[in-house]
Chains A and B, each alone.
Chain A
Amino acid sequence: DQQVKQNSPSLSVQEGRISILNCDYTNSMFDYFLWYKKYPAEGPTFLISISSIKDKNEDGRFTVFLNKSAKHLSLHIVPSQPGDSAVYFCAASEVGGSNYKLTFGKGTLLTVNP
């Protein structure tokens, strides 16, 4: 039973346009969410996070939106750059829990075309 779902295996956008990556979750105990980016032969790199007490968090070109009632979050990248081409993982944790384990989705491969 997948608790974090990224339903789009891949996404292709033009340089300069907006990239929107989506993530859904089923576990109501999740209250902290993170996005990681992964290049081939590297480990996941932390991008941005959001706590369930917020509905938006921005960091430069990256914005994460959280809709708790829909159990949905999205990552917006504006403007998209070719260097953003990577696999993006959505992850969630139960901050109130004892071990802060991260539950990941399967990832979305983003390709930004020049």
Chain B
Amino acid sequence: ETGVTQSPTHLIKTRGQQVTLRCSSQSGHNTVSWYQQALGQGPQFIFQYYREEENGRGNFPPRFSGLQFPNYSSELNVNALELDDSALYLCASSSRGSIQYFGAGTRLSVL
């Protein structure tokens, strides 16, 4: 059974660019949640996808968007990158319950 995998591991972008982060959910899981973890903070909920539909969103602007595919993998897209978007982006999968299993994350640096 494979766990949650995220790609890429690290990414460097410049302000104003767009970025796509990818997540493969754990086998048997149909729910994917995305979190942003800034330095020295706990993870903050961005949004969740359940069976390809957005199922809840945190306090993030519309330039943060996502997709979930039929195989339950997911993408996080961020447009018009800002310096404050520099963070660790975590993906978590679950089987429609509260125990979420996390990937190792993508470290995004915006210059």
Interface size on B, residues (CB 8 A): 29
Given A98-B55, A102-B43, A103-B45: A46 in contact with B98 (beta carbons within 8 A) = no
CB atoms of A99 and B44 under 8 A apart: no
Annotate A1-37 by CB proximity to B: 1 below 8 A, 0 otherwise. Answer: 0001010000000000000000000000000101010
Q: Which A residues between 29 and 79 are near B, CB-CB below 8 angstroms?
A: 32, 34, 36, 41-46, 49
* B-side contacts of A41, CB under 8 Å: 104
Q: Show the binding face of B for A, using Cβ within 8 Å.
A: 4, 6, 31, 33, 35, 40-45, 48, 50, 55-56, 58, 90, 92, 94, 96-105
Q: Choose among A6, A101, A104, A107 the residue with the greatest number of B CB atoms under 10 Å from its CB.
A: A101
Given A99-B56, A101-B56, A106-B40: A46 in contact with B101 (beta carbons within 8 A) = yes
CB atoms of A4 and B56 under 8 A apart: no
CB atoms of B48 and A106 under 8 A apart: no
Name 14 A/B residue pairs within 8 A (Cβ), A-sorted: A4-B42, A6-B42, A42-B104, A43-B90, A44-B43, A89-B43, A99-B48, A100-B31, A100-B100, A101-B58, A102-B45, A103-B45, A104-B42, A104-B43
Q: In whole Å, how far is B77's beta carbon from the nearest beta carbon of chain A?
A: 19
Residue of A nearest to B88 (CB): A43
* A-side contacts of B35, CB under 8 Å: 102, 104
